[in-house]
Amino acid sequence: MILQLIKARRKRILIDVDTQRDFLLAGGKACIRNHRRVLAHIRRVMAWARSRNIPVISTCDVYPNNNDEDANNYCIDGTEGRKKISYTLLSNRVSFAADDSTDLPRDMLRRYKQVILHKRCVDPFDEPRIDRLLSEVRAGEFIVIGACAEGAVKATALGLLQRGKTVTVVIDAVGSHDKKEAQMALRKMQAKGARLIETKSLAGTTKLRLVGVCDCESCKRRSRKTSTSMPDVRQRTGDSVQRTVNAER
């Protein structure tokens, strides 16, 4: 049974919602607002999950290529945009295509650190396999990150809450297209029982600000600032050591 997928000692599961190139990179077809900041926090949360050996359940939008006849022109099957951001992927993972099946391996989350589930809709609970997994798997807390606050993140959090789960939403690791709609969505999640926190409350603080995957001017400017400041730090450290050596002489 899926109920036994999570061992009793595992109290948390990270729910990684649609962290895909079309949503999170400047060149994506549905890029979120303030993508650099959100990407940096997503990278931090994923590093925290790896270090704590926390299992990850990921959802991904994958829409069929209907030659532009479909309303969705993003995350199209076979395109670069539907791929996940590189650091949201764990090496030990398994992936399931979207279909109408509910079949899942019995010991899936004991054998794999990450389960990736494709979906053809915004609400993951409209997919039978995802609905079964998220409904039956047991954990003390479900931590939600990803895109977008007013869409799939809200649907995921509310669906978990309706099923009696304890939900935490990492608000600065959640992207959005519309700031007003996102704020309303977060308030609704909180009103229904979700806990809203920032990345630093979960994973502490870090000086790392590189997103490492986006080539837009905003991200490159930040990367250049970080890289140019690092030699200065090393130089100051070297000068300090040299002064100490001279004093000892």
Please tell me whether residue 202 adopts helix, strand or coil conformation.
helix
Handedness of CA 218, 221, 225, 231 (dihedral sign): positive
60 and 14, same domain (yes or no): yes
Q: How far apart are CA 37 and CA 219, in angstroms?
A: 9
Residue 40 counted as domain residue? yes
71 and 184, same domain (yes or no): yes
Q: Quote the pLDDT of residue 205.
A: 79
Q: CB 109: neighbour CB atoms within 10 A?
A: 24
Low-confidence ranges of the chain (pLDDT < 70): 1-10, 67-71, 207-210, 222-249
Residue 15 counted as domain residue? yes
CA distances from 36 to 25, 209, 215, 232 (A): 8, 9, 10, 24
195-200 long-range contacts, Cβ below 8 Å, gap at least 24?
Answer: 195/166, 195/167, 195/168, 195/169, 196/168, 196/169, 196/171, 197/168, 197/169, 197/170, 197/171, 198/170, 198/171, 198/172, 199/41, 199/44, 199/45, 199/170, 199/172, 199/173
Nearest to 148 by CA among 234, 75, 229: 75
9 touches 140 (CB < 8 A) = no
Q: CB 141: neighbour CB atoms within 10 A?
A: 14
232 touches 240 (CB < 8 A) = no
Q: Quote the pLDDT of residue 246.
A: 47
Residue 210 counted as domain residue? no
Q: Quote the pLDDT of residue 52.
A: 94
CATH number at residue 132: 3.40.50.850
Which residue in this structure is represented by tokens 């992927």? 89
pTM: 0.84
Residue 211 counted as domain residue? no
115 and 232, same domain (yes or no): no
Give me the residues paired with residue 235 across strands.
none
Residue 142 counted as domain residue? yes
Contacts of residue 181, Cβ cutoff 8 Å, sequence gap at least 6: 149, 150
86 and 195, same domain (yes or no): yes
247 and 131, same domain (yes or no): no
Q: Quote the pLDDT of residue 243.
A: 46
111 and 233, same domain (yes or no): no
117 and 229, same domain (yes or no): no
How buried is residue 69: exposed, middle or buried, by Cβ count under 10 Å (0-12/13-18/19+)?
exposed
245 and 124, same domain (yes or no): no
Q: How far apart are CA 245 and CA 130, in angstroms?
A: 62
156 and 70, same domain (yes or no): yes
Residue 112 counted as domain residue? yes
Domain of 36? 2-205
